[in-house]
Amino acid sequence: MAIESTEALHVVMFPFFAFGHISPFVQLSNKLSLHGIKISFLSAAGNISRIRNTLKLNPSAQIIPLSIPHVEGLPPDLQITSDMTPAMAELVKLAIDLMQPQIKIILSELKPHFVFFDFAQNWLPHLASQFGIKSISFSVFAALTGSYIMVPERRNNHSTDVLIKPPTGFPATSITSLREFEGKNLQYVFMNFGGPCVYDRVLDGLNNCDAVVIKTCNEIERPYVDFQRSIFQKPVLLTGPLVPEAPSGELEETWAKWLGQFATKLVIFCSFGSETFLNDDQINGVALGLELSGLPFILVLNFPANVDAQTELLRALPEGFIDRVRDRGIVHTGWVQQQLILAHNSVGCYVCHSGFTSVIEAIMNDCQLVLLPFKGDQFFNAKLIAGELRAGVEVKRRGEDGHFNKEDIFEAVKTVMVEINKEPGLSIAGNHQKWREFFSNEGIQNKYIEDLVKELKVLLAV
């Protein structure tokens, strides 16, 4: 499909129904629309109001609601994975498979130049090709993650013993192996829940799309980007890191008042996102480790949608913990203004699950990072930040099962909190500052988007 010189590029965005996926698609849409690209954003009707708060709606952007087909076990009123049990979230993939007739009608009417699709929609390249539309597999995960797991040789041999070793031809970097508990966790991507497993969906999409776009940059992941180019022999394009925009509004008075009583960079903020759930042993290790630090802290713990979060919180915390830390600790469940909390002057350390958006938010807000990954791509993000970039500390854990204790949390926190007061140089704090300056460089970020737009136009001529 050629493009006339006076015609604007038209891109359809179709992310998976989890906000960890939706947000990067929104961020990329906003940046592309600044270059005159028309955006049509697809999502379940129940997600539209939240998307509208962040997607820059202008004459070149629109949101199109989708209806989720009935799947046994998936309540019709639930349309975002954070509101679902893990079992329900698996059913979303089956519902997305049933959306093909709906998507076919939309694409036939819109006739966009490109459709950017997520990991679950492996059928989209074939559907798009029927209308001469170019399909783009957009990975919201680090290039390291895809390079290590989503390669053809994993299809027939993915035992834990094999998964802990890099694939053939993997770049010679500091990532030389995984621990046993990490390899066991990665078995999830090969599990069948009634439809194609995650691995098969991703590989089919990568093999059949016209190009791959990854949310990353050469400065951080060039070896892994080059490796994916060599594996799939098709264009692999980059968005840059897609730094989140500064949040609007003000921090709620309750949080601002509590944080305001502490000195600069003294408070630890500890949160693991909306869809990472800790077991009782892990909650105990984190809570007691924060107590052991002697520092003020905010601990945010979330639970699956089918349990009473407040009841579970009180049950899971160590006995007497709330009383012992009453003057310097807050334990919370549910949503918080994460970016605004990280931006507060008293917050100096962020203990998190290594979700990449959260990591970038911490770096942008000058919060030292303690990384405690629990699943999938989080393991690779932690290795990238703590191992490759040396801009944070990963919590020490037992290799066979991932166990950690309060001393492991305390040691990691102590390391980065001591680093805050060091002179910049060959230190974690120095590297943190280096990458903060990089992520803050709008010229670099804009150049990635400009190059992406140029490369998309070249793709249309092929």
Q: What is the 3-class SS of the chain, one letter each residue? A: CCCCCCCCCEEEEECCCCHHHHHHHHHHHHHHHCCCCEEEEEEEHHHHHHHHCCCCCCCCEEEEEECCCCCCCCCCCCCCHHHCCHHHHHHHHHHHHCCHHHHHHHHHHHCCCEEEECCCCCCHHHHHHCCCCEEEEEECCCHHHHHHHCCHHHCCCCCHHHHCCCCCCCCCCCCCCCCHHHHHHHHHHHCCCCCCCHHHHHHHHHHHCCEEEECCCHHHHHHHHHHHHHHHCCCEEECCCCCCCCCCCCCCHHHHHHHCCCCCCCEEEEECCCCCCCCHHHHHHHHHHHHHHCCCEEEECCCCCCCCHHHHHHHHCCCCHHHHCCCCEEEECCCCCHHHHHHCCCEEEEEECCCHHHHHHHHHCCCEEEECCCCCHHHHHHHHHHHHCCCCEECCCCCCCCCCCHHHHHHHHHHHHHHCCCCCCCCHHHHHHHHHHHHCCHHHHHHHHHHHHHHHHHHHCC
C-alpha 228 chain-centroid distance: 19
Q: How far apart are CA 363 and CA 392, in angstroms?
A: 10
The CA–CA distances, whole Å, from 348 to 27, 186, 343, 366, 370 equal 26, 32, 9, 7, 11
Residues known to be catalytic:
21, 118
Lowest mean pLDDT among 342-356, 369-383, 411-425: 411-425
**pLDDT score of 419:** 64
Lowest mean pLDDT among 17-21, 149-153, 164-168: 17-21
Domains, the chain, in order of start with CATH, read 10-243+441-460 (3.40.50.2000), 253-438 (3.40.50.2000)
Tell me: pLDDT of 5 over 50.
no
Task: For CA atoms 334, 339, 345, 347, give the dihedral sign.
Answer: positive
User: What pLDDT, in 10s, does the model give residues 381-397?
Assistant: 999 999 999 999 999 99
Q: What does pLDDT average to over the chain?
A: 93
How many percent of the chain have pLDDT more than 70? 97
Q: How much is the average pLDDT of 233-260? A: 93
**pLDDT score of 78:** 80
**pLDDT score of 451:** 97
Tell me: pLDDT of 249 over 70.
yes
Number of Cβ atoms within 10 Å of the Cβ of 299: 24
* Residue type, position 247, single letter: P
Q: Are 336 and 271 in contact (CB under 8 A)?
A: yes
How many percent of the chain have pLDDT more than 90? 82
**pLDDT score of 220:** 95
Q: Are 432 and 369 in contact (CB under 8 A)?
A: yes
Q: How much is the average pLDDT of 292-316? A: 92
Q: How far apart are CA 288 and CA 284, in angstroms?
A: 6
User: What pLDDT, in 10s, does the model give residues 49-74?
Assistant: 989 988 987 787 899 999 999 999 98
User: What pLDDT, in 10s, does the model give residues 421-441?
Assistant: 555 555 898 899 999 999 999
Which residue in 130, 138, 330, 147 sits closest to 230, CA to CA? 147
Q: How much is the average pLDDT of 233-240? A: 97
**pLDDT score of 355:** 92
